[in-house]
């Protein structure tokens, strides 16, 4: 008996100590990243391609698959991919942001190893270094359910992915230079769908198709609609929702959702429309939904959508609800159904701002504009390297003083259940993302958040997602169960804001060192900065 226990412990330890799990399937990818010509807005420019493609290859996998991606960097600048919304359980080593990973130098490679643990849904990946994301390098990452797990809708007759976002004609280096010189980004030049100004979907009358839509842009919220058709919302970033139907849907920067569309109209072609939200000038991109038995081209006006109406968007966001009876991968394995009754260990308020510092545009959170050191924070913490970041140096609540530069890491205990209030002090929409987690979005509102507002939270069936919008001069409140040990990036999803300092890291940790809490530094980890010479 005792021997058995020891053997079992050794066995468990052997598999648990590696970031991939033995009995789940493996999927291997080799991705070569290069520059290449692309023409998303008609004129040719230099894009970032993965295996020659823009957008990059769609990564399709199944819940709990082990994903092994060897990324070969053939650019002239360091490169990293981050897996937006993939939780990287116990494994912030693979998160692919500069606070956790050294960038892959030119003509070099790094092999990511991670598991799509307990997730089903629509996600993306994108380059996280500098403004590279503005040149492409992004793609779809769809996690399908395992055969034995039912999802709350019939198998669709087809599955279409749409990566939509604002686009600049300027190169990623030019955009980065603009930001480095202290200017903010200008208004984007256009809106693109799957790397082009138009797109085409062919379907059969009477059938139902799954459309997965992600906003991969840099700055702009979008509205999505299909002429003459209703959109039945089924999933938001891995949460199965109540299946409400909508004429059109708002999708903010960094967010994903999926809808079912039944081709229940007369056989002809219909407009698929994306347009920018909350912008003075409205950018529009259209595609075609073609019925296979159609002989008529698209006709009629392009269906109008909301443009500036902020309240419309808030009202819609409040209708997104978690389907509590849907059996599927859960946002959290245990204890999550009653998220509304779990006591809060801490509550923090995060206020965004756009200060000028030394005459240059910066972006800050709680008065601190984040500066990325040469050494990833995760490696500095792992090797006990001093003077890379400063523990708990974010003034929470914000002090309201002059903004400063800094590299804060805010510490939390593993399994803390916390509230975060994003207070938008600017007259522009914001979106915030937390790596390693999804969180319940329990409320949105206008003005200054106060404790009284908690009475109005949705504590029953809020959606759990990884990116939340915060309306102009408004607030959004989230609840997070900090059950994933590691160093995690909390950031603006609007990439220029992130690049110029609107981000920081949280460390979720327990003094008890255990493979059941966190994997070890992978043996192939790249080392840089002050981590050079330390051995994995």
Please report, as ranges, the residues that interact with ligand NAG according to CB under 6 A: 70, 109-111, 152, 242-243, 323, 325-326, 524, 526
Between residues 243 and 307, which has the closer beta carbon with respect to ligand NAG?
243
Interatomic CA distance for residues 338 and 307, integer angstroms = 37
Residue 135 CB, nearest approach to ligand NAG (Å): 23
Residue nearest to ligand NAG (CB): 152
Dihedral class, residue 85 (left if φ above 0, else alpha if ψ from -120 to 50, else beta): left
What residue has token string 């202290």? 182
| Residue 211, strand partner residues | 160, 259
Residue 323 CB, nearest approach to ligand NAG (Å): 4
Residue 101 CB, nearest approach to ligand NAG (Å): 11
Give the residue among 418, 425, 415 at the shortest CA–CA distance from 442.
Answer: 418
Q: Is 178 helix (H, G, I), strand (E, B) or coil?
A: helix
Q: Is 454 helix (H, G, I), strand (E, B) or coil?
A: helix
For residue 229, give Cα distances in angstroms to 115, 201, 246, 376: 36, 14, 9, 47
Between residues 320 and 471, which has the closer beta carbon with respect to ligand NAG?
320
E-strand stretches of 128-255: 139-144, 159-167, 190-193, 200-203, 208-215, 222-226, 231-236, 239-240, 245-246, 248-251
Between residues 243 and 309, which has the closer beta carbon with respect to ligand NAG?
243
Residue 155 CB, nearest approach to ligand NAG (Å): 13
Between residues 122 and 492, which has the closer beta carbon with respect to ligand NAG?
122
What residue has token string 């804060």? 408
**Diameter of the chain by CA atoms?**
77
Residue 327 CB, nearest approach to ligand NAG (Å): 6
Angle 314-315-318 (CA atoms, 0-180°, nearest 5)? 85
Residue 531 CB, nearest approach to ligand NAG (Å): 14
Residue 241 CB, nearest approach to ligand NAG (Å): 7
Residue 522 CB, nearest approach to ligand NAG (Å): 8
Residue 178 CB, nearest approach to ligand NAG (Å): 33
Residue 465 CB, nearest approach to ligand NAG (Å): 17
Between residues 28 and 200, which has the closer beta carbon with respect to ligand NAG?
28
Rounded to 5 degrees, φ, ψ at 216 are -100, 15
What residue has token string 């990833």? 376
Between residues 91 and 502, which has the closer beta carbon with respect to ligand NAG?
91
For residue 367, give Cα distances in angstroms to 355, 357, 399, 494, 503: 9, 11, 7, 18, 11
Between residues 110 and 320, which has the closer beta carbon with respect to ligand NAG?
110
Q: Which two tokens stand for residue 337?
A: 């159904």
Residue 270 CB, nearest approach to ligand NAG (Å): 25
Dihedral class, residue 379 (left if φ above 0, else alpha if ψ from -120 to 50, else beta): alpha
**130 Cβ partners below 8 Å, 6+ apart?**
77, 172, 176, 499
Give the residue among 404, 424, 402 at the shortest CA–CA distance from 349.
Answer: 424
Between residues 152 and 355, which has the closer beta carbon with respect to ligand NAG?
152
CB contact at 8 A, 221 and 166: no
Q: Which two tokens stand for residue 205?
A: 């009358």
Between residues 13 and 149, which has the closer beta carbon with respect to ligand NAG?
149
For residue 496, the surrounding DSSP H or E stretch is helix 495-499
Interatomic CA distance for residues 147 and 149, integer angstroms = 6
Neighbour-count burial for 140-157, b at 16+ CB within 10 Å, e otherwise = bbbbbbeeeeebebeebe
Residue 283 CB, nearest approach to ligand NAG (Å): 33
């Amino acid at each position: 008996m005792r021997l058995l226990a020891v053997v079992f412990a050794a066995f468990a330890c052997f598999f648990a100590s590696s970031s991939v799990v033995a009995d789940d399937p493996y999927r291997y990818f080799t991705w070569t990243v290069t520059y290449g010509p692309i023409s998303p807005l008609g004129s040719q420019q230099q894009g970032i391609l993965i295996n020659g493609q823009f957008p990059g290859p769609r990564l399709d996998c199944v819940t709990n698959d082990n994903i092994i991606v060897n990324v070969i960097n053939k650019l002239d600048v360091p490169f990293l991919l981050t897996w937006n919304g993939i939780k990287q359980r116990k494994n912030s080593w693979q998160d692919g942001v500069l606070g956790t990973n050294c960038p892959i130098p030119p003509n070099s490679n790094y092999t990511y190893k991670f598991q799509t643990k307990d997730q089903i849904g629509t996600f993306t990946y994108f380059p996280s270094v500098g403004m590279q994301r503005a040149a492409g390098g992004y793609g779809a990452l769809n996690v399908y359910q395992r055969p034995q797990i039912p999802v709350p809708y019939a198998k669709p007759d087809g599955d279409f992915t749409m990566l939509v976002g604002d686009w600049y004609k300027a190169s990623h280096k030019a955009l980065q230079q603009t930001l480095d010189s202290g200017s903010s980004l200008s208004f984007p030049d256009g809106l693109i769908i799957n790397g082009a100004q138009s797109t085409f979907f062919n379907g059969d009358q009477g059938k139902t198709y799954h459309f997965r839509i992600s906003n991969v842009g840099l700055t702009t919220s979008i509205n999505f609609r299909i002429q003459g058709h209703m959109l039945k919302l089924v999933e938001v970033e891995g949460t199965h929702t109540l299946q409400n139907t909508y004429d059109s849907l708002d999708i903010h920067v960094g967010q994903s959702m999926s809808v079912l569309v039944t081709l229940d109209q007369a056989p002809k072609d219909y407009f698929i429309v994306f347009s920018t939200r909350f912008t003075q000038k409205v950018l529009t991109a259209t595609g075609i939904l073609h019925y296979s038995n159609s002989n008529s081209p698209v006709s009629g006006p392009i269906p109008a959508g909301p443009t500036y109406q902020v309240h419309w968007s808030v009202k819609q966001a409040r209708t997104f609800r978690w389907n509590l009876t849907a059996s599927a991968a859960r946002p959290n394995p245990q204890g999550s159904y009653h998220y509304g009754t779990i006591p809060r260990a801490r509550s923090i308020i995060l206020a965004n701002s756009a200060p000028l510092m030394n005459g240059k545009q910066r972006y800050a959170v709680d008065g601190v504009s984040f500066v990325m050191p040469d050494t990833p924070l995760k490696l500095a913490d792992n090797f006990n390297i001093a003077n890379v970041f400063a523990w708990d140096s974010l003034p929470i609540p914000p002090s309201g003083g002059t903004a400063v530069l800094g590299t804060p890491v805010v510490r939390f205990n593993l399994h803390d259940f916390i509230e975060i209030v994003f207070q938008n002090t600017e007259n522009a929409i914001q979106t915030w993302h937390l790596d390693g987690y999804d969180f319940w979005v329990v409320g949105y509102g206008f003005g200054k958040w106060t404790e009284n507002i908690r009475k109005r939270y949705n504590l029953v069936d809020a959606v759990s997602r990884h990116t939340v919008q915060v309306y102009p001069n408004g607030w959004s409140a989230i609840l997070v169960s900090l059950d994933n040990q590691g160093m995690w990036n909390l950031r603006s999803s609007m990439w220029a804001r992130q690049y110029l300092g609107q981000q920081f890291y949280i460390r979720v940790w327990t003094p008890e060192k255990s493979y059941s809490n966190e994997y070890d530094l992978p043996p192939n980890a790249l080392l840089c900065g002050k981590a050079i010479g330390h051995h994995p």
